[in-house]
A and B are shown apart, each in its own frame.
Chain A
Amino acid sequence: MFEPIARFFSAKPPEVLPYYVAGAVLFSILMIFVLINLPSRARKPLIALVTFLAGLFYATEFFFPIDRATNKNFLTDYLVPASKLGSLLGGMTLTLGILSLLRVHGRNIARLRAGWYNSVALLVAMVSMVTFGLMDKYGANDGAKKVFNVLFEGMLINMDATMFSLIAFYIVSASYRAFRIRSIEATILMVTAFLVMLGQVPVGNALTDWLPQDGTFASLRVENIKQWILSQVNAAALRAIAFGLGVGGLAISLRIWLSLERGAYFEKEI
């Protein structure tokens, strides 16, 4: 029964390919016209249906019995195409994001708002990265490669690393300000952070180096206290938090999948 459908959706040789592609485009445009004229009371159910079917694919693939020999069921082979489909759809929104950038900064430049030259710098940087990035892939040219190297390895990677490293400064000011014995909670937070810090660095370890390496008193060495906090208290607390997050995530997924979710976006008349 599925044979003719499968044959219709199979890969096509170059001679007929343009017709199929054009046909698909025309059909899609036709469908959009149908959608535009859809009565408004049918819209929400249609969106709910699309959402449900998309979720149903992954749910069925997970719950449907598998063939023990191959560890697959009838949908498993479609997982890869499905993830490609997801990436492609998600990727297509990038244009909307870039349009937002262009709109904000284009307006800055057009109206010569304060700092308009920064917006120019942004656009120049963007255009050069696109130009040389694509040349790097599609047109090998030594000069272009060098420029791309300066833009990517020289600038982008180093800027990433620099912003990341700023956290070192912020961690100092945050711990200086927040770790005060103001309340029980703040005190607990401070004491454990302090102990763990001691356990992290050689200087701290030297403090309890006089304690034996083995035996009962060894557990009082700072590095062992640190290890105990991490492996016992930390692991258990994080697992408990994770269980809650797991159930919460499952609940919100169910609500969205079955269109039970509420809020301005979901309840709006369309």
Chain B
Amino acid sequence: MEQVYLHFPILQVLIPLLLAPICVLVGRSTFSWLITFFGSVSSLVIAISLLHSVSDGSSISYHIGGWPPPIGIEYVVDSANAFLLVLVSGISTVVLLYARDQIKLEIDEENHTLFYTCYLLCLTGLLGVLITGDVFNVFVFLEISSLSTYVLVAQGAKRDKRALKAAFNYLIMGTVGATFFVIGVGFIYMATGTLNMFDIYERINDLESSRTVRASYAFIVIGMGLKLAMFPMHLWMPGAYTYAPTVVTTFLSATATKVSLYVLIRFTFSVFHFDFNFIEQVFKFLVMPLAIIAMFAMSFVAIFQKDIKRMLAYSSIAQIGYMLLGVSLLSSEGLTATFVNLFNHGITKATLFMSLGVLTLYSGKSFLSDVQGLGKKMPWISASFLIGGLSLVGIPGTAGFISKWLLVQATIEAGVPILALLIILSSLLAIVYIWKVIEHLYFMEPHSELASQKVSFRILIPLWILSISCLYWGFDTSLTVGTSDIAANNLFNNVIKLN
């Protein structure tokens, strides 16, 4: 038993990876759902146990195949990625709970098995990116998740053919991003001769002036910027989120961009040295301004959207602005705020997309007029949308408030209170677009032709798990803030305590 425990880091990735082909072989919708669900749950269990064992700020190093680093590939678990491992596998599990019913309406029966296979692969990729300590391995897992994501997005074609074009755009953009990233990795390898993150960190110390190292950072920022939809490289995102099946949108919005952001953070702090002058410059003159523009411009765009899914996609880009802002303060507080934001925004957006998906389950369209008056007909679902919306805006008592609060604190701590003001001002914009939906939900008469729709408990349960967690993390901050604090401190001081 002890043996198994020691292999948890690799099992974290291996279980969903191995289950994927099994899924194809099974070929039946229900069975493959069961397998996928099993994979997701076991990932979650493993992630939680990993988080538990690193919660004191220590870290676990796992040597693949017994080859010690820097020769072999190393998996490293510390509180930063263990936290996100829990988020990704947790969201995946909750999404799967409701996926079955939703998928039946959105995807042809014969594609279900393959859908779940891709879902598992996507999960594998995301978990792998998080857990690996090898820079090239990051690229491989990133591409595993991206390639399966393109397929998942394209599955929306049954409802709207534009999903295909969105997936194709995403493919082009994603590949360009990944290739940029791989060029950056090549440059680092040229400069340091190693691929292990922590080994690079040691060796890169005197290379601040090296142009190779500098250029590699530029490539990596742009590559990851593309994947995490940093404004103005977000253009693939609204389409992909709008036309993808709701299950996919829910899962991706809560995880994919977060994982890419994690990679950026990891590279900035554990591969490069964040106090390199050029890194500070990049954040000061590129990332921060773009993040602020995103916060406002994208919120304004969201206000004018008629399609709620698209509105939420734009809102995600604005929210990514907050997270990037937190990172670009290059302070421990800012980093904590970003980690909390990653988590809280993940569950908030998942709640929103999921409840929206259920609200528009039968109409299939997610325009404002499609949810009109549903507040009375589907009170439970609308209420969970409301909670998600409140959390997105950052109303006290919700998870969203905690992340905004920390971010505001961090900006004041960093000595730029004007940013705090901007953050708060842009949050006001969120009120406007969320209000538009709430208004249609609650204050308008429903279309008469919409008969009262029954929603099974299989859907309600995961939805309310998410809604309640939106509220719960608004009160109990010991896990989110506590872990983020440790994670941020570890990254900031680059303390990797191996046990």
A binds B: no
List residues of chain B with CB under 8 Å of any chain A CB.
none
List residues of chain A with CB under 8 Å of any chain B CB.
none
